[in-house]
Amino acid sequence: MVKKFGVQKLVLLLFSVMLLFGAAACSSNNTSSDEKESGGKTKLTIWIWPNMGIEKQIEQYAKDNNIEVDIQTSEFEDVHSNLTTALAAGSGAPDISAIEVKGIDKMKANPDHFHNLLDLGAEDVKGDYLDWKWQQALTADGKHLLGLPTDIGPQAMAYRADVFEQAGLPTDREEVAALFNTWDDYLKVGEQIKAKTGKALIDSPNGAYTVLEGQGDEKYYDKDGNIIVQDNAQIKKAYDFAMEIIDKDLTAGFEQFSSEWGTGMLNGDYATILAPAWMMTSMKATAPDASGKWDMTLLPEGSGNWGGSFLTIPKQSKNAEEAYKLIEWLLSPEQQLVTFKESGNFPSTPGIYDSEEIQSFTSEYFNNAPVGKIYAEAAQNVKPIIEGPESIQVEQIIGDAITRVKDGQAKPDASWDKAMEQLERELAR
């Protein structure tokens, strides 16, 4: 009897284990976003990456509106690939996810995976945002809006006043800006810095490339979605400029966002960084001890946009209306102003560019430069740019071409040809 009872119990136990596995496999369909009733509160899961500067406001909103939020931060690339995987799997996507400007184009090919924000009332706030930025999240037929814009990336130039002084150059913001009317002037100043101090003009030629390509009217795609990398004169100009920097030995040769880049930033190994607004946060995080050593002024030949993101609501979210309320509040001009002050990410709402609060905003890290005023002016100079579905790939291929030349592994023309071959091959797939 005892033995029999033992076997039965065991069989029962094993069956329950199997059932548990079965149940776990089935229930994965609905574990994701609809954890609606946790103590009667709506719970919103939010995916962002570090330095977006919006965590505190989200938490404040949750407190004020009696909802629960679960903010999950992962690395920039991971947010995008996790989201893609979750959308494909049909489960696991958050209620709100950040998507970067180059990622949103890919998602626009499959708008059905996202709630249409126009249906949730986004039309009412359209006027608050920059039109070109708004268009980036809108499908070609203009009927489906995937996300509301967070920040934009207008560009300016951070420079080391101490290095300029050593080189016998003016250090005052206005006077520095007057030194650079064209990119050629910029190179000339670089040669003087090199000759007098032995230091480099710029952290990386790749940074210069990205800035210059952003100053044109078009980038990799024309408005009909055709690839125009080969024919776009602005890209040629940006590439050639990067080559000139390398040829004249004006680059410090750092890889941007590497740890050595940060040490160089602290030590003043390079005199300038061409910096979109969000770079301010990045610099503060990378080289906090360099506070007060950097200063800020405008770029030669206009500005350009680098980066900037959107907040989207994946279709899997069961709390779309609550989620929309949150992002509408969070991305309103007033709250974007708070974000800007907190982190330096520049608002996508032009209505506040002339406000006293932006115009008078200074940053201690940048030697009390009026960064609000500088980036507001840069933002007015940003030309609307079309990103395309494979922008990230194109950018990487050309970036590699520049790095090859920088590392002395290839000649400029050969490296460019190789990049174009690679591009053709990858896009054909």
Q: Provide the binding-site residues for another protein, judged by CB under 8 A.
A: 7, 10-11, 14, 17-18, 21, 25, 77, 81, 84-85, 87-88, 106-107, 109-110, 113, 252-255, 259-260, 263-264, 269, 392-393, 396, 399-404, 407-409, 425-426, 429
Nearest approach, Cβ of residue 409 and another protein (Å): 6
Q: How far apart are the first and last CA of the chain?
A: 68
Query: Is the Cβ of residue 110 or residue 226 nearer to another protein in the bound state?
Result: 110
C-alpha distances in Å from residue 138, one per residue of 143, 147, 429: 7, 8, 26
- Least spacing, CB of residue 114 vs another protein, in Å: 11
- Of the pair 127, 198, the CB lying nearest another protein is at 198
Smaller CB separation from another protein, 13 or 195: 13
Instruction: Please identify, using beta-carbon distances, which residue of 83 and 176 lies nearer to another protein.
Output: 83
Q: How far apart are CA 191 and CA 280, in angstroms?
A: 26
Q: How far is the CB of 407 from another protein (least distance, A)?
A: 4
Minimum distance from residue 397 beta carbon to another protein (Å) = 9
Nearer to another protein, 118 or 392 (CB): 392
In the complex with another protein, the residue whose CB is nearer, 2 or 25, is: 25
Shortest spacing between CB 231 and another protein, in angstroms: 24
Nearer to another protein, 112 or 141 (CB): 112
Shortest reach from residue 29's CB to another protein, in Å? 15
Q: How far is the CB of 180 from another protein (least distance, A)?
A: 26
Shortest separation between residue 75's beta carbon and another protein, angstroms: 12
Give the closest residue to 263 by CA, choosing from 292, 294, 288, 297: 288
CB of 299 to another protein, least distance (A): 26
Helix 55-64 to helix 333-343 angle (10° resolution) is: 140
Tokens matching residue 66: 């009696």
Residue nearer to another protein on the CB measure, 300 or 307 = 307
Question: Closest approach of Cβ 285 to another protein, in Å?
Answer: 16
Q: Backbone dihedral region of 120: left (phi > 0), alpha (psi from -120 to 50 degrees) or beta?
A: alpha
Give the span between the Cα atoms of 268 and 258, in whole angstroms: 15
Q: Nearer Cβ to another protein, position 297 or 312? A: 312
d(CA 9, CA 1): 12
Task: Report, in Å, the least distance between residue 151 CB and another protein.
Answer: 23
- In this complex, which beta carbon is closest to another protein, that of residue 248 or of residue 418? 418
Nearer to another protein, 172 or 255 (CB): 255
